[in-house]
Structure 1
Amino acid sequence: MIDALENVLARVVQTGEPVRVSTTTLLPSGATANVLVRPSGNGTFLVSDDGGGRSDLLTLGHTTLTGSDRKRGDSIANRLGLMFDGSGFAVRDVTADQLAGAIIFVAEASREWAGVAAENATKRAQFGLSKRVEERIRAIAPNAKIAREAEVAGASTKKHRFDLVMDLDRERKAVFEFVSPNANSLSAAHLKLFDVRDAHGDWPREVITERLEDWSAADMTLLNGVATHVRAMNRDWQGFAELVH
């Protein structure tokens, strides 16, 4: 999990300077957690994530922390014997033989906290987005039959949950999936849309995102390969009226 810890420790001792240690722990964005090891001057070390979990949330666009996020951080810190300052984890007075364990605990705390915070932030954003998308649909098709969080079976026979599923006629539906510009969201959406495309090739598969400008060309190519349309909330939805009528 930790790269060249012995060399890192030797460098800290020799220079007396902080050293950043890379781990294989993955944060919600897909980036790896880095842990800062800082000599305390008495033969022990301060080990912290240097706010890495919080920085990862900002990378994903989650700028607001809730009271529940802070309480969860305190709970994780208490369970692992760490400190939590509202945005990061640390532990003091770590001896050299405790360093490996401390790095693992701090990285894991950062991953767990940021992961749950990101998941909850995404759910809050998707709930708001779901209402906005449904309003846009009903402005064009007031009597549309729309189900939230509905399941659709793919070619693999696995059932996939979509944010919105709209009945077009007895045999056809349109599925709507809200996707954020990060690796986890893209991967999950690609998997389910690919499977449903193979089972129901004539069903519209609508990917909804806030802004097309937030996406890389490579990721947009992946989405376009499995989606009928990728639609942004800050743009007009060309051809949507024809789709739902």
Structure 2
Amino acid sequence: MSSDAPKPLSYNIAWAQRTFSDRPTTEALLAPERDAGNVSFNDYQAAARFFAGSHRLYRFIGGFLAIPVTFVFRRPSWSPLRTCSFFAASTLCGSFTGHTMAISAHVTFVRSLEDPSGFAQALENIRKDSGVYAPSGPTIVRSGSQWSVNAADPSPIERPSINPPSKWDQIRAVNARTSTNSSWDALRQRHERTRVPSVNSDSDPDAFERSRTEDRVAEQAKFNEMLERERNIKHDS
């Protein structure tokens, strides 16, 4: 294939309708591409008019037309079940017809572009900048004067994958959070809590002082014993 071959236009209908939701949005997205020379002035104006057109409502209009159609064709002898079935079938048929007409409108728009290759580059730039990727659905492909409608996008863009954290990463995170509270800190906190004596206002002051001294000595001995046990554990490990 020659390097001068025009860039084919892959026009995903669902993505285009979702991205160019109204005229101000269309103009804001295509104006930089027009200034960069990717979109001609005529294509810019045509896109601004088209994406704000009534083709967006064709499917809904077709579905709503089932209401008057049902009233026109309904007979007094019809049962409620038959009436509901006819209404449902009319709704589906009208919606499908409207959807087909909307696709036809998109085909007409794509075929009317003066520079489909430049418009293809503009759509690619907008797709990359917005991060909104084309969903699976009807896609109009135009290369030069040749065009076709495919059921799905023939060249889907790979979505960036986000790898979830592994089990080892989760374990490291838990260890990092718990490493700040060592066993030495726990021993000190426990010792500080046990050093608070209970005061009895009715007891003898001298007896209270002796009792408090004995308690401090006993608690200090327990604390020293716990420290020694902790040192032995760390030394053995």
TM-score range, shorter-chain basis? under 0.3
The structure whose Rg is larger is 2
Q: Which has the higher helix share?
A: 2
Give the structure-1-normalised TM-score: 0.24
Question: More relative contact order in 1 or in 2 (CA 8 Å, sep 6+)?
Answer: 2
Give the structure-2-normalised TM-score: 0.25
